[in-house]
């Protein structure tokens, strides 16, 4: 289940050892340093059953989100809420909504157009939903809006 995670056995592959996402970009030391204070949040809500959201699916979403948003995987935060009572476009047929919140990468229409295209590609393939059954909302965040370690990101 998604809520339980056991550490891998010694020598077992980890997420970073698996095949890279098709959206992957190479990381430089400079790029890693520039992402020090970023923390994208993805909230995926759906009226699909919990069984549709396996741990491998969550791991693929993690890799895809890191590549799409150009952020290190260790900075990505994902929550999945299945079995929601929801309707999109006046229909309760299977659907999903993705909320993407982050510092610096979802603040313009051009950025979000690119992100939207890639997230739709991922979600339609992985969830088996038509594009008109998925909505994505983007929210830019500021450092002072994210609390961590007893303070806010501004002071870290």
- For residue 69, give the nearest of 146, 151, 136, 145 by alpha carbon: 136
- 122, 129 in Cβ contact below 8 A? no
Q: Which helix (H) or strand (E) holds 97?
A: strand 96-103
Alpha-carbon separation of residue 56 from 15, 103, 136, 151, 153 (angstroms): 9, 27, 22, 33, 30
Reading phi first (left if > 0) and then psi (alpha if -120 to 50, else beta), residue 24 is in beta
Known catalytic residues are 40
């Amino acid at each position: 289940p998604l809520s339980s995670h056991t550490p891998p056995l010694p020598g077992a592959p980890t997420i970073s050892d698996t095949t890279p996402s098709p959206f992957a970009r190479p990381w430089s030391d400079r790029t890693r340093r520039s992402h020090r204070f970023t923390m994208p949040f993805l909230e995926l809500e759906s009226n699909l059953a919990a069984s549709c959201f396996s741990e491998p699916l969550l791991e693929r979403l993690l890799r895809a989100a890191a590549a799409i948003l150009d952020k290190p995987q260790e900075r990505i935060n994902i929550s999945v809420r299945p079995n929601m009572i929801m309707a999109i476009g006046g229909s309760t047929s299977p659907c999903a909504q993705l909320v993407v919140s982050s510092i610096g990468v979802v603040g313009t229409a051009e950025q979000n157009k690119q992100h939207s295209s890639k997230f739709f590609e991922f979600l339609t393939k992985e969830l088996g939903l038509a594009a008109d059954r998925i909505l994505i909302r983007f929210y830019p965040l500021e450092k002072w809006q994210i609390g961590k370690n007893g303070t806010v990101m501004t002071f870290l």
